[in-house]
Structure formats: structure tokens, C-alpha cells
């Protein structure tokens, strides 16, 4: 249909303005010169022919990105102008395809085009954009890759991120959403729930339970692979935690051969943050390098701390007690050099020039603890991008 309209527009006869209807009023001499069209019109016709060729190429590319199968049997069509489209052209084409796919089922390969599972992208993001978290970076990639590459899974993957604020728990959750889903956090298949925002009042817990149950059912029904992120998990109401239990349990596959749906649950909390910091501080003072710290150093003290925390129901919930959480991921406290990298990234992401002095100055504005060593940023890399505004001319 789109194609038809385009051709219709291009095939419309072209005449210089004024050649129609006024002929009778013109002198004989002028009528005799009739066949020579205006030079301007000739140029326009040329341009339209180019546009015609271009739109054919755009059409081919568009239909290839929307219906990949349709493309393969055409044996790499060689359009007259070669394949190097201008960048803006490609971008708008991608936009158009994306928009089109919202209404139409696009992926002809039986896959779901909302799910991208780009593990290469995830690995690169964890490596390049996340600072000071060698342990979390390795653990998350291993766990997610293992889960997605297992042919038949019988349960959801549940990861629990622990650490002080600003250490990158949210950042990693977002990276996961962005690399596993075409639309990232806005995807139909991803739900991010923040305790103090979505479930602020304990007295409404029944309504929250109903809402959460419906939302989870709906999302899991619509998506073969869904993701649920619970931010501020330490503040989740015990009854909401209880509700999640059945979703994390292993279950018997329903039908033989049918691919069971997958789900990734992320719990983000600052539980155990202080104990992680204590262990890390102890190791650094004992002469270990940060990169030598492994899960073995942290696992036992972290789990003990989570389970004994009195002001949160998370540690005493079924999820923890019945080992429904697959992995507790510690996020280490950030040091000055990591904060400096975050500052640099903030400048780069806004396309702003920076100097080494500015990086130092902004990194120094953070508070470093403990009192004596002043080793760890108490806010991690939080609100760095707001701070750089103070340094703009």
C-alpha cells in the first residue's frame, strides 16, 4: 500500500506551470516553441527520478528489516545506487520499522522482535560503562548468559543486587533491560516496580497485591521472556514478597516440546551494603587489590547480614529462606578513581568538553568515608550529572 502511494505520486505527469489552460491566450509564436520544457522542470524530473530510485531502495531495506524472510529469497538485491545509505536515512528507516512493528507482528522467523537478547552488547556495556564492579559485572553476565543459553528452563532467574546507593545496581538493571529488550525499560515485557513509589502505603496492601498479581500474569502471558525489577526491595511488604514466591519456584514443564516461558527477576536493595564495605575495607587494608576480591570473600557475611536485618522483611521472606534467589550480587563501594570515571562519562554523554581539573574537582565534591581512610564515596556515582552542571560556562 505504501509502495503504491509512492509510485502514484512519482508517476503523476509533470508540466511546467502555466502550460495548461492558458494556451489559447498565448501568441502563435509561443505555441510553436511548446515541446521545450523549462530547464527548471527538467531538473525537477531528474530529481524525482533519483527519489524514485531511492524510495525503491528504502522500500527494499524497510521490508527487509520488517520481514527478514521475505528478503532472503531475493538474493541480496543490488539497487542502482549501491547500499550506502546516508546515516539519517538509515535512522529514519529504523524508526519507521520500529513504529510499524508496534502494530504488526514483524519477526517472520517465529521469534519475538521485542526481545533482543544482545549478550555481546551486555558484555560490552558491563565492561565499558560500569566502573569499579568487576565482581558484579562478571556474576551478572555469567548468570544471565547461562540462563538464556539453557535450552529448556524450568524456573525463573532471580538475582538480588546488594550495595550502597550509587554503586550501579540500577544502572546494571537498566543495561539488562536495554540489551535484552528492543524497547528497554519501556518494553511490554519489562516491569520496573519501586517500593516507595508503587506500593507506598501498607494499608493498601490488598490492592497492591491484586494489581501486582494481575500485572505479572498479564506480562508473562504476553511475553515469552519477561523481566521484573523490584527497586528498594528491602521495603517490599511481606505479603507482596509472599506473592512472588510461586513465580520463582521451579515448575514441571506443562507440555512436552513447548518452550516454557522465561522470566528474570531482579531485586535491588541496600541490604548488606555496610557489611560489603567493611569486608572490602578490611581486605584493602590487608594489602589485597580490589580486583582480587571474589564472591568467596563476601558471600557468607552478606547472606548472614541479609537474613538477620530486622527492619526489612526481605531476609526473612520465603525468597531467601527457601533459596529461591539464585545469586546474591555484591556491589562494591566506589573509590575516588571510579567516581572520576563517572564524571568523565557524564561529560561525554552530554557531548560537553571537560578538563582533567574539572574531573578532579567534581570527584572531590563527593563525601568519602570512613572518617579515617576516606576511601569510599558515600553516594557512589549518584547525581553526578547534576553536579557537572555547576561547572558549565
Ligand X SMILES: *[C@@H]1O[C@H](CO)[C@@H](O)[C@H](O)[C@H]1NC(C)=O
Q: Which of 55, 63, 118, 378 binds ligand X (CB under 6 A)?
A: 118
Q: Please, which residue, 78 or 128, has the CB nearer to ligand X?
A: 128
| Omega of the bond leading into 370 within 30 degrees of 0 (cis) | yes
Binding segment for ligand X (CB under 6 A), chosen from 82-90, 99-107, 119-127, 340-348, is: 119-127
Binding segment for ligand X (CB under 6 A), chosen from 46-54, 116-124, 208-216, 355-363, is: 116-124
Q: Output the smallest distance, CB 122 to ligand X, in A.
A: 8
Q: Output the smallest distance, CB 121 to ligand X, in A.
A: 3
| 349 touches ligand X (CB under 6 A) | no
| Rounded-to-integer distance, Cα 23 and Cα 12, Å | 21
Other CB atoms within 10 A of residue 392 CB:
10
Instruction: Specify whether the CB–CB gap between 88 and 58 falls below 8 A.
Output: no
| 116 touches ligand X (CB under 6 A) | yes
Q: Which of 74, 124, 217, 389 binds ligand X (CB under 6 A)?
A: 124
Binding segment for ligand X (CB under 6 A), chosen from 118-126, 187-195, 209-217, 321-329, is: 118-126
Q: Please, which residue, 128 or 390, has the CB nearer to ligand X?
A: 128
Other CB atoms within 10 A of residue 43 CB:
10
Q: Please, which residue, 124 or 389, has the CB nearer to ligand X?
A: 124
Residue nearest ligand X (C-beta atom): 121
| 117 touches ligand X (CB under 6 A) | no
Burial class (CB in 10 A: 0-12, 13-18, 19+), 59: middle
Q: Classify 39 as helix, strand or coil.
A: helix
Binding segment for ligand X (CB under 6 A), chosen from 113-121, 149-157, 299-307, 318-326, is: 113-121
| 60 touches ligand X (CB under 6 A) | no
Q: Please, which residue, 113 or 366, has the CB nearer to ligand X?
A: 113
Task: Determine the distance from the C-alpha atom of residue 99 to the mean position of all C-alpha atoms in its chain, rounded to a whole number.
Answer: 18
- Radius of gyration of the chain, Cα coordinates, nearest whole angstrom: 29
Cα–Cα distances in angstroms (integers) from residue 96 to residues 26, 58, 220, 253, in the given order:
48, 11, 27, 39
Binding segment for ligand X (CB under 6 A), chosen from 101-109, 115-123, 142-150, 355-363, is: 115-123
| 63 touches ligand X (CB under 6 A) | no
Q: Output the smallest distance, CB 70 to ligand X, in A.
A: 19
| 184 touches ligand X (CB under 6 A) | no
- Strands (E) across 169-305 are located at 190-194, 225-231, 262-269
| 128 touches ligand X (CB under 6 A) | no
Q: Please, which residue, 89 or 121, has the CB nearer to ligand X?
A: 121
Instruction: Specify whether the CB–CB gap between 232 and 269 falls below 8 A.
Output: yes
| Rounded-to-integer distance, Cα 15 and Cα 19, Å | 7
| 120 touches ligand X (CB under 6 A) | yes
Residues 6 or more apart whose CB falls under 8 angstroms from that of 344 comprise 354, 359
Q: Output the smallest distance, CB 124 to ligand X, in A.
A: 5
| 260 touches ligand X (CB under 6 A) | no
| Rounded-to-integer distance, Cα 67 and Cα 63, Å | 6
| 142 touches ligand X (CB under 6 A) | no
Q: What burial letters (b/e) apply to 119-142, b meaning 16+ CB within 10 Å?
A: eeebeebbeeebbbbbbbbebbbe
| 55 touches ligand X (CB under 6 A) | no
Q: Which of 121, 184, 238, 261 binds ligand X (CB under 6 A)?
A: 121
Binding segment for ligand X (CB under 6 A), chosen from 114-122, 192-200, 244-252, 260-268, is: 114-122
Kind plus residue range of the DSSP H or E element containing 206 = helix 205-222
Task: Identify any residues that bridge with 194 across adjacent strands, giving them in sequence order.
Answer: 231
Pick from 214, 210, 216, 156: which is nearest to 192 by CA?
Answer: 216
Q: Output the smallest distance, CB 107 to ligand X, in A.
A: 13
Chain residues in the site for ligand X (CB under 6 A): 116, 118, 120-121, 124
Amino acid at each position: 500500500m505504501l509502495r503504491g502511494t509512492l509510485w502514484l505520486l512519482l508517476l503523476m505527469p509533470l508540466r511546467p506551470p502555466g502550460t495548461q489552460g492558458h494556451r489559447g491566450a498565448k501568441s502563435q509564436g509561443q505555441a510553436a516553441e511548446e515541446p521545450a520544457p523549462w530547464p527548471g522542470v527538467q531538473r525537477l524530473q531528474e530529481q524525482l527520478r533519483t527519489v524514485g530510485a531511492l524510495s525503491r531502495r528504502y522500500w527494499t531495506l524497510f521490508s527487509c528489516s520488517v520481514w527478514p524472510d521475505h528478503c532472503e529469497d531475493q538474493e541480496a538485491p543490488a539497487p542502482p545506487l549501491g547500499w550506502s545509505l546516508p546515516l539519517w536515512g538509515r535512522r529514519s528507516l529504523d524508526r519507521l520499522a520500529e513504529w510499524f512493528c508496534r502494530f504488526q507482528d514483524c519477526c517472520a522467523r517465529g521469534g519475538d522482535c521485542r526481545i533482543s537478547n544482545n549478550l555481546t552488547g551486555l558484555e560490552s556495556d558491563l565492561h565499558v560503562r560500569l566502573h569499579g564492579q568487576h565482581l558484579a559485572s562478571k556474576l551478572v553476565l555469567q548468570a544471565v548468559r547461562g540462563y538464556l543459553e539453557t535450552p529448556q528452563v524450568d524456573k525463573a532467574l532471580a538475582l538480588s543486587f546488594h550495595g550502597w546507593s550509587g554503586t550501579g545496581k540500577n544502572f546494571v538493571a537498566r543495561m539488562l533491560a536495554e540489551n535484552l529488550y528492543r524497547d528497554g525499560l519501556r518494553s511490554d515485557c519489562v516491569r520496573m516496580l519501586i517500593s516507595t513509589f508503587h506500593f507506598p502505603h501498607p494499608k493498601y496492601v490488598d490492592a497492591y497485591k491484586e494489581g501486582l498479581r494481575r500485572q505479572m500474569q498479564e506480562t508473562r502471558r504476553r511475553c515469552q521472556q519477561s523481566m521484573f525489577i523490584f527497586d528498594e526491595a528491602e521495603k517490599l511488604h511481606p505479603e507482596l514478597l509472599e506473592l512472588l514466591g510461586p513465580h520463582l519456584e521451579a515448575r514441571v514443564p506443562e507440555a512436552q516440546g513447548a518452550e516454557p516461558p522465561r522470566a528474570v527477576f531482579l531485586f535491588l536493595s541496600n541490604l548488606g551494603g555496610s557489611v560489603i564495605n567493611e569486608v572490602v575495607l578490611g581486605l584493602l587494608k590487608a594489602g589485597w587489590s580490589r580486583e582480587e576480591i571474589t564472591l568467596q570473600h563476601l558471600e557468607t557475611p552478606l547472606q548472614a547480614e541479609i537474613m538477620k536485618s530486622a527492619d526489612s522483611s526481605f531476609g526473612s521472606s520465603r525468597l531467601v529462606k527457601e533459596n529461591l534467589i539464585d545469586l546474591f550480587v555484591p556491589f562494591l563501594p566506589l573509590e575516588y578513581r571510579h567516581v572520576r570515571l563517572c564524571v568523565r562519562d557524564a561529560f561525554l554523554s552530554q557531548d560537553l568538553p571537560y578538563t582533567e581539573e574539572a574531573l578532579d574537582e567534581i570527584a572531590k565534591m563527593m563525601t568519602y568515608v570512613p572518617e579515617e581512610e576516606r576511601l569510599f564515596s558515600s553516594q557512589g556515582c549518584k547525581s553526578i550529572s547534576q553536579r557537572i552542571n555547576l561547572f558549565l560556562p
